[in-house]
Amino acid sequence: MSTHQAPRQLKLGFILHGVGPGWGDWRHPDADPTASTNIDFYLRQAKLAEQGKFDFLFVADSVHITEKSSPHYLNRFEPLTILSAVATHTKNIGLVGTLTVSYSEPYTVARQFASLDHISRGRAGWNVVTSWLSGSAENYGKPAHPPHEVRYRIAAEHLTTVQGLWDSWEDDALVHNKETGQFIDPAKLHTLNHQGEFFSVRGPLNIARSPQGQPVIFQAGASEDGRNFSARYADAFFTEGSTIESSQAYYADIKKRAAAFGRAPHQASVLPALRAIVGATEEEAQALHRQAEGLIRIEDALVALARSFNEHDLTQYPLDGPFPDIAQYGADSNRSSSERIIRTAREENLTLRQAALRYASPRKEFVGTGVQVADAIQRWFLNDAADGFILFEALPYQLDAFITHVVPVLQERGLFRREYEATTLRGNLGLDVPENRNTAARRQAA
């Protein structure tokens, strides 16, 4: 079944959120609707995911809401603060935070993640995003967001500037000789002197080299520009993963692009989103799935769908008519997602209502017993559709169910770790610590 020689290890992330990612999840009888700002809930979930040996926690983000936004967008912790709070209550699990390059400064971003990397002793990761909602710009004094292609130029310059700052301090720059009073070796503290199209940053960063040297980079680029960005810069790719076929196509494409940038396959993990629904029996799982679907209101499903179309008002179209011609609203927004939605609607001849509810519901493929869900995961993993998954908790206590029923099956099959390999995110993902560019330059000059 597999084309791989050695047993690869599955990578698993967990989306750390308050109220669930589905638009109706908070309505479940067991759901705490105040979970999104409940620190105890977050600490519980984080510690549980670590017990389950997940590679990392992942905090999503956005910087714009309206009164129509989904509950999990409306009210959420800022990622760096909540991850810092979680850091001291965990020891091994990675801490990946989303932060937009569109409305942030490289110097501040570099500091925040370096600080998190020190606090967590080497477990920080940055999910690099470009904001795609035009409402976001209005919260940051900008009349409109830049075009799609420009956003990725900004992203590349922002990210490489941050990475340059992370190399400001060589590993042994801190001397702290109490006798002589020398605290640092000034030759090992470096300015960056970056002068680019969008940013100019002098440096050095005002925090010492962090345990990972370079925090891990995540990205979710799916468009042409996004894929090239991801393939070149990211250590792991977060994808929507709508079907095994589309994921295989994405997987092949992104690995090829990564190779063209001189990167090894294990340096570029493809991690689709996974909204599993797990029961002790198949009947229980199916009942849970029906319950989740029953919580979704069509008006919420329409707003959810509209996010990929720059929040275009979909209530103006007949619900039970053919899927409307709205491609233009997706073109400069979340392009890859909007194109996929349109393609699916056309191929399956879906009405607007059907397309919206389909989009809002957990997929049937990952509904079942521990063995059934593990089978599906294994199918994707061994057939080059995924190097692992990022789990969303679709209903309350589904993280518990996944750890109880799915993880042991994956472990028994030799697909997933029984113990952490390392205390750093790089270590657990099997990524090396890149040599500091300034140390390398010194070595090459010598």
Least CB distance to its own copies at residue 345 (A)? 25
CB nearer to its own copies: pick between 4 and 297: 297
Least CB distance to its own copies at residue 121 (A)? 7
CB nearer to its own copies: pick between 48 and 189: 189
Q: Could you tell me where the DSSP H helices lie in 185-326?
A: 224-233, 244-260, 282-294, 298-306
Query: Where does residue 428 rank: exposed (0-12), middle (13-18), buried (19+ CB within 10 A)?
Result: buried
CB-based contact 116:87 (threshold 8 Å): yes
Contact pattern from residue 94 through residue 133 relative to its own copies, giving x for each residue in contact according to CB under 8 A and a dash for the rest: ---------xxx-xx--xx-xxx-xx-x------------
Instruction: Check residue 300 for interaction with its own copies (CB under 8 A).
Output: yes
User: What part of residues 390-429 is at the interface with its own copies (CB under 8 A)?
Assistant: none
Find the Cα–Cα–Cα–Cα dihedral 221, 232, 217, 418, rounded to 10°. 90
Least CB distance to its own copies at residue 73 (A)? 7
Q: What is the DSSP letter of 213?
A: S
Least CB distance to its own copies at residue 178 (A)? 5
Size of the site for its own copies (CB under 8 A): 74
User: What part of residues 53-92 is at the interface with its own copies (CB under 8 A)?
Assistant: 62-65, 67-69, 71, 73-78, 80-82, 84-85, 87-89
CB nearer to its own copies: pick between 59 and 276: 59
Q: Say how many C-beta atoms besides its own lie within 10 A of residue 368's C-beta.
A: 24
C-alpha R_g of the chain: 22
Least CB distance to its own copies at residue 74 (A)? 6
CB-based contact 308:341 (threshold 8 Å): yes
Instruction: Check residue 27 for interaction with its own copies (CB under 8 A).
Output: yes
Contact pattern from residue 327 through residue 366 relative to its own copies, giving x for each residue in contact according to CB under 8 A and a dash for the rest: ----------------------------------------
CB nearer to its own copies: pick between 69 and 269: 69
Question: Which residues of 20-89 form beta strands (DSSP E)?
Answer: 56-59
CB nearer to its own copies: pick between 94 and 221: 94
What is the rounded distance in angstroms from the CA atom of residue 333 to the CA atom of residue 307? 8
Among 208, 331, 382, 433, binds its own copies (CB under 8 A): 208
Among 4, 138, 147, 281, binds its own copies (CB under 8 A): 138
Both structure tokens of 443 = 């070595």
Smallest CA-to-CA distance from 97 within 39, 212, 209, 15 is with 15
Instruction: Check residue 186 for interaction with its own copies (CB under 8 A).
Output: yes
SS3 of 97-125: the string is EEEECCCCCHHHHHHHHHHHHHHCCCCEE
Find the Cα–Cα–Cα–Cα dihedral 129, 135, 136, 139, rounded to 10°. 180
Candidate segments 47-55, 152-160, 198-206, 257-265, binder of its own copies by CB under 8 A: 198-206
User: What part of residues 213-272 is at the interface with its own copies (CB under 8 A)?
Assistant: none
**Distance from chain centroid for Cα 352:** 28
